[in-house]
Amino acid sequence: MSKWEAALRLVGVGFFIGGSIIMGVLAGLWLDSRLNTTPVLLILGLLIGVVVAFYGVYRMLLPLLNNKRDKESG
């Protein structure tokens, strides 16, 4: 992988984490106010946001991790 691709993948991570957690929380808050279930869906949305954030970051950085492993073993 080129340096540029690695850099771009890393740059994308920050706002992705923020975006997914905020979206989860906002969706939870909105659904809570609609369904009167405060705060169950807020917490659920937060959890889903965090999980999506971790998974997305893992997917974005997977090639970088593989590169490193190759170098260590080789």
Partner 1 sequence: MPKRRVLGCSFPLLAVIAAALLGLFLVSFLSGALGRSLIGDVGLPGWLSVPAPDPKLPPEAVFHLLGFPVTNSIISAWLTIAVLVGVSYVVTRRLKLVPNRLQALLESAIGWLYDLCREVAGEKNGRRFFPVVATIFFFVLMNAWLSLLPIFGSINITTAGGEHVHLFRGANTDINLPLALALVSFIFVEYHGIRLVGARHYIAKFINAGRFFGGLGQLFRGSLRAGLVGVLTGGIDIFVGLLEALSEFIRIISFTFRLFGNMTAGEILLLLVTFLVPWLAVIPFYGLELLVGLVQALIFSGLTLVFATMAVTHHKEETA
Report the interface residues with partner 1, using CB under 8 A: 2, 4-5, 8-9, 11-12, 15-16, 18-20, 22-23, 48, 51-52, 55-56, 59, 62-63, 66
Joined tokens for residue 66: 């593989």
In angstroms, what is the minimal distance from the CB of 66 to partner 1? Answer: 7
Joined tokens for residue 24: 């989860």
Q: C-alpha angle 31/43/34, rounded to 5°?
A: 15
In angstroms, what is the minimal distance from the CB of 25 to partner 1? Answer: 12
In angstroms, what is the minimal distance from the CB of 24 to partner 1? Answer: 9
